[in-house]
Amino acid sequence: MSALPFIPFTRPSFDQETIDAVGEVLRSGWVTSGPKLAEFESTLSEYFGGRPVRCFANGTATMKIALQVAGIGTGDEVITTPISWVATANVILGVGAKPIFVDIDPITRNIDLSKVSAAITPKTRAIMPVYLAGLPVDMDQLYAIAKQHNLRVIEDAAQAFGSQWKGKKIGAIGDLVSFSFQANKNLSTVEGGCLVFNNLDEAKLAEKFRLQGLTRHGIDGMDVDVLGGKDNLTDVNAVIGLHQLKQLPAFQNRRTHLAREYFNVIRTEMKSTGIEDLKLELPPENFTDSNWHMFQVILPLDQLNVDRAQVMTELKDLGIGTGVHYPTITGFTLYKNLGYQIASTPVAERIGRMILTLPLFPGMADGDVSRIAQSLCSILKKHRKN
């Protein structure tokens, strides 16, 4: 075991001001959805160029409600990617619709838009792209396909808060855009999420879905005309979000700096270790659009005599945490039992098996990236096939 401190693959940053603000909400007498939520939603709306925004208890609820607002349900098909957090596909099944998995692009690791048209049927109602590690898809191409086939787009931008497309924020453009504020995300409310709309009618409908389908009128009037759930965000979470928003530019600068360092140090280290022939795939070097939610490499497993689990174990023994984001969804028992086949998306199959998330979060210390790159390269060298 290493004497050096353990570096987790990610860790949220909450400053003293945030902690104090939480204390104030707890003492205020109003702790669930109230004034802080309203303030957070209007601040987010401003951030997204004036589009309506509503918050929810988590990103999963946010995406479920996006599907409900779009009227997607039994008998409908939704096109998505097999390399995502399982929530993306689960919410599609949850509303009674059928996820259709299109293979990913080996470079961006996002849905391969050139393969989407071939997957469209008369039952297709929506495309749900995921911006893995915060890298958006080609938005021009995405919305051209949607327009041509008259489809809704529900952007799973859970990982893309702060990402951009051609100088515009993800969320400031597009159809329904869903974010998560879960603890690992670039902006966190501990748990939470928000949906960005194009019109107030859909925002109002989402408000009903998040609270039992309820509308109020007058001082004592209540009605329920749709089936809603209990997916509201509390003021405790909202006040954390307000403080995270203030820190977001600093968080982003730090993430971008660390990502640049990864590219430099990994390349230098591979040379000096003499393993330049190993095909370790780095992420696209995109410093205009990506928010660097994660730094993910594809391990050269074909050139090693160990598997990913062994690489992760040895990194862990050196005090370095890593993650897998994600195994291919169609490999899960639930999805296999529904008849999906992992072999039908071969690029996703390979990447789901070989992808590895290295630590990247604003609180990382200077020197951590070097230590991680050195450790990874020494492990690769030790286990290369002869």
Ligand X SMILES: *Cc1c(COP(=O)(O)O)cnc(C)c1O
d(CA 372, CA 381): 14
- Residues 75-104 touching ligand X, rule: CB under 6 A, are 84-85, 87-88
Q: Could you confirm whether 316 is annotated as catalytic?
A: no
d(CA 74, CA 60): 19
d(CA 40, CA 18): 14
Q: Which of 156, 175, 349, 368 binds ligand X (CB under 6 A)?
A: 156
Name which of 294 and 318 has its Cβ closer to ligand X: 294
- Of the residues 64, 185, 246, 279, only one is catalytic, namely 185
- Total site size for ligand X, rule CB under 6 A: 14
- Residues 20-59 touching ligand X, rule: CB under 6 A, are 58-59
Name which of 18 and 180 has its Cβ closer to ligand X: 180
d(CA 120, CA 100): 9
Lay out the site mask for ligand X across 60-79 (x = CB under 6 A, - = otherwise).
x-------------------
Among candidates 113, 119, 80, which has minimal Cα distance to 326?
80
Contact segment (CB under 6 A) with ligand X among 152-160, 165-173, 204-212, 375-383 equals 152-160
SS3 82: coil
d(CA 141, CA 165): 12
SS3 130: strand
Let me know if 113 is exposed, middle or buried by CB neighbors in 10 A (0-12, 13-18, 19+).
buried
Contact segment (CB under 6 A) with ligand X among 151-159, 257-265, 314-322, 330-338 equals 151-159
Q: Which of 97, 104, 128, 130 binds ligand X (CB under 6 A)?
A: 130
Name which of 130 and 280 has its Cβ closer to ligand X: 130
Token digits of residue 71: 């009227």
Catalytic center residues:
185
Name the residues that contact ligand X, by CB under 6 A.
58-60, 84-85, 87-88, 130, 156, 158-159, 180, 182, 193
